[in-house]
Amino acid sequence: MKFLTVVLAVLGVGLSVRAQPGPVPGHLPIALAFKDSDVVCSGKVLSTVVESEEPPPIGLQHIRAIVEVQDAFKPADLKVEERLTLRFVRQYPGVSMYRPVVGKSETAILFLKKTADGSYEFANYWAGAESFQVLPNASGGTGLARLESALINALEQAPPGGPYHDDLRAVYMLESFPVLSPEGLAQMSKLANSPQPDIALAAIGTLLKTKSPRSVELLRAYLESYRGDKEPMSVWGIGAWLREIDDPVARPTLEALSGSRFTSVQLGAMDALRKMKNPSSVPVLIQRLDDSNKVVRYQALITLSEIFHKDREFAPSMQLFDQDPERYVSAWKLWLSQPHGTPRPDEKRGSTVID
């Protein structure tokens, strides 16, 4: 689970943007939240009561809510229509703070922890509650598999691009699963060409977790066809999945993505190429020495040093590189302009040699 300080899109009644440190969309800690929860369910909030308040500048309300279980994922003996008492803290409007909340009549997927008095609180700061306008029950399964089934059903019933963004909520939660069922992956494959960029890229991000070259090609094809001026929110987390690709068949596509205009994609592709250390990537790495992104330039430099087994001025620390990047890039360009033979894999030693 990777946490980044980003402008995080928080899914409330609509999509609102807050400057908060936290997981990027599609990277919520679903498996961890499920494991740490005493109760995971979908439930409807029947009532809410303000039990106490801390007025500004603290600006908090302590809420007691009654929730009716509509579908049960954990524990196995949790009953539909069972009523739970949930206590949580809600900030006053305008207070800059992220906390999971639910409102009266809302339906949400809830991750809850039992307290000493028998009531419940949110079990996870980031994945405590996810509200949906329409949240159908699962078709089958138990535990996380049942939660996946419910989300797939929500995705199928949500109007594409609807005002409540149920489809995007469901895709982001599914992307956060450690692994999806064949049915879930098939659903993501259908959405990989969605006209909604955030839906398509979240679906592709989910497919990238399979580490298949086909998923990398899907990403390249989609980004090449994307003509929007704005960076889709779903692209922020792509790099975390992309850097795990290790199939040599995907190398040419990764090389193309290393020049992406989207930073997360570019850095993820560069990380994957560094792990591969394939001499065939040298021409692309030389191009990246002139990239406008200093981190990409450093990644290219350090990958070249590992391919050619060069150190010292050819493999500075990131701190030294930051102090004088042109010095190290120029050293590489000078060395590369001279004849040194062609690097090739050394099958016996599992490394690279130069002919």
Q: What is the CATH number of the domain that holds 228?
A: 1.25.10
Q: What angle do CA 149, 187, 71 make, to 5 degrees?
A: 15
Co-location of 287 and 254 in the same domain = no
> Residue 236's domain spans which residues?
180-276
Would you call the peptide bond into 23 cis, given omega within 30 degrees of 0 as the criterion? no
Co-location of 268 and 318 in the same domain = no
Task: Determine the distance from the C-alpha atom of residue 300 to the mean position of all C-alpha atoms in its chain, rounded to a whole number.
Answer: 24
Is there a domain that residue 241 lies in?
yes
Which pLDDT score, from 0 to 100, does residue 312 have? 86
Is pLDDT above 90 for 292?
A: yes
pLDDT digits (tens, 9 = 90+) for 75-97: 999 999 999 999 999 887 755 55
What is the number of structural domains in the chain?
2
Co-location of 213 and 266 in the same domain = yes
Co-location of 219 and 237 in the same domain = yes
Please compute the mean of the pLDDT values over residues 92-115 and round it to a whole number: 86
This prediction has a pTM of 0.85
Place of tokens 């302590």: 62
26 pLDDT band, cuts 50/70/90, is confident
Co-location of 272 and 184 in the same domain = yes
Which pLDDT score, from 0 to 100, does residue 92 have? 77
Is pLDDT above 80 for 21?
A: no
CB-CB contact of 49 with 56 (8 Å): no
Co-location of 314 and 271 in the same domain = no
Tell me which DSSP letter residue 49 carries: E
Domain boundary among 276, 302, 331: 276
